[in-house]
Amino acid sequence: GEKVEQHESTLSVREGDSAVINCTYTDTASSYFPWYKQEAGKSLHFVIDIRSNVDRKQSQRLIVLLDKKAKRFSLHITATQPEDSAIYFCAASLNSGGSNYKLTFGKGTLLTVTP
Amino acid sequence: EAAVTQSPRNKVAVTGGKVTLSCNQTNNHNNMYWYRQDTGHGLRLIHYSYGAGSTEKGDIPDGYKASRPSQENFSLILELATPSQTSVYFCASGRRGAETLYFGSGTRLTVL
């Protein structure tokens, strides 16, 4: 099955700097790559995604890059703010039949933004 | 926003006991999932379902059973709980054909 490796387990940046979290996946059939955020003591919620038909997507301060050749994707958070501090999970999705998908998550990156 | 409710929020069980974790979603989503979250492992898929009456094994199904009696409800059952099943369990739901998942608040299970 699909395996997703999230390279940074922790990341610390100064407020205003950029943060980059990198993930790799194994299955070339994966076609959808979302990112989820988990604030301390809370549940996960979706933040941004990218599909395999594009190599870049931006939503405000979040940028996702996809390199299908290298089977690598990354989340860039620009102009970081203290409220960006959280655990970020990358995931890859395979079509598991019909229009259903199964997400495989990375282990998470704890991002700390210091003032 | 999608509403996924898990119960209980916290549970302490004894080794060998039976534990049932419940999940309810009110958004008419076809797909529901059970994940566990452990430090160093991230989120791992235990069981999932594409509709009432159906369940599928995820990546780590051993020691767990699942039940989807209705569109709204999806339960995770530990027939004989073990300390290695101490974890935080998350339920999630999603629409068929759409990949975005909506997560519940989680259940913290401690097996003594």
- Mean pLDDT of the region B49-73: 96
User: By CA distance, what is A93's nearest residue in B?
Assistant: B99
Tell me the chain B residues in contact with residue A103 when contact means C-beta distances shorter than 8 Å.
Answer: 33, 45, 99, 101
pLDDT grade for A97, boundaries at 50, 70 and 90: low
Q: What is the pLDDT of residue A98?
A: 59
Kindly state the DSSP code that residue B15 receives in the 8-state scheme. Answer: T
Q: What is the pLDDT of residue B1?
A: 58
Write the single-letter amino acid at B66. Answer: A
Cα(A23)–Cα(A87) distance, integer angstroms:
14
- Mean pLDDT of the region A50-58: 95
Q: What is the pLDDT of residue A12?
A: 98
The minimum CA-CA distance between B10 and chain A, rounded to whole Å, is: 13
What mean pLDDT is reported for chain A?
93
Give per-residue pLDDT as tens, B62-102: 999 999 999 999 999 999 999 999 999 999 999 877 678 99
Which of B99, B101, B103 best tests the A interface by mutation, with the highest count of A CBs <10 A?
Answer: B99
Q: What is the pLDDT of residue B97?
A: 72
Q: Which helix (H) or strand (E) holds A111?
A: strand A109-114
Could you give the C-alpha distances from B38 to B57, B90, B107, in angstroms and in order? 19, 11, 12
- Mean pLDDT of the region B19-47: 93
Q: Do A100 and B100 touch (CB under 8 A)?
A: no
Q: What is the pLDDT of residue A102?
A: 79
Q: What is the pLDDT of residue A100?
A: 67
**Cβ–Cβ under 8 Å, residues B97 and B31:** no
Tell me the chain A residues in contact with residue B47 when contact means C-beta distances shorter than 8 Å.
Answer: none
**pLDDT tops 60 at residue A99:** no
Lowest mean pLDDT among A9-13, A37-41, A91-95, B30-34: A91-95
**pLDDT tops 80 at residue A104:** yes
B106 contact A CB<8A:
yes
pLDDT grade for A96, boundaries at 50, 70 and 90: low
- Mean pLDDT of the region A5-22: 97
- Mean pLDDT of the region A43-64: 95
Tell me the chain B residues in contact with residue A104 when contact means C-beta distances shorter than 8 Å.
Answer: 45, 59
**pLDDT tops 70 at residue B2:** no
**β-strand A109-114 against A10-14: which pairing, if any?**
parallel
